[in-house]
Amino acid sequence: MHERQQLEDKILAKRQQIDFERASLEEMIAFSTENRENPDVMEEAKNFDDPAQNVAEGAEMKALRAAEQELEELLRQLEALRDK
């Protein structure tokens, strides 16, 4: 029973992490247009017309996907405990 509670706590924490990371990425995408209005370096000017989705950095997207996969694994572990 103790193992089940630990898994449930981990699942809750992982869901909160995912929600936070997703909200952070959505905010970054939402404000990317404002950030592009006055580009002050050449790299920003070069990428001025990129879609907002491209603004989100690859590392942040990878971190979100990894967290989602960890959550799926925790859920599988919890389901296996319930089946015992």
Give the whole-angstrom CA distance, residue 39 versus residue 49. 11
Q: What angle do CA 43, 47, 51 make, to 5 degrees?
A: 150
Whole-model pTM over 0.85: no
Give the pLDDT score at 46.
52
Q: Which residue has the tokens 């404002």?
A: 34
What pLDDT sits at residue 20?
94
**What does the pLDDT read at residue 37?**
54
Range of the domain at 53: 2-83
pLDDT per residue, tens digit, the chain (84 aa), is: 688 899 999 999 999 999 999 998 888 877 766 555 555 544 555 555 555 555 556 778 888 999 999 999 999 999 998 887
For residue 42, the model assigns a pLDDT of 45
Number of domains comprising the chain: 1
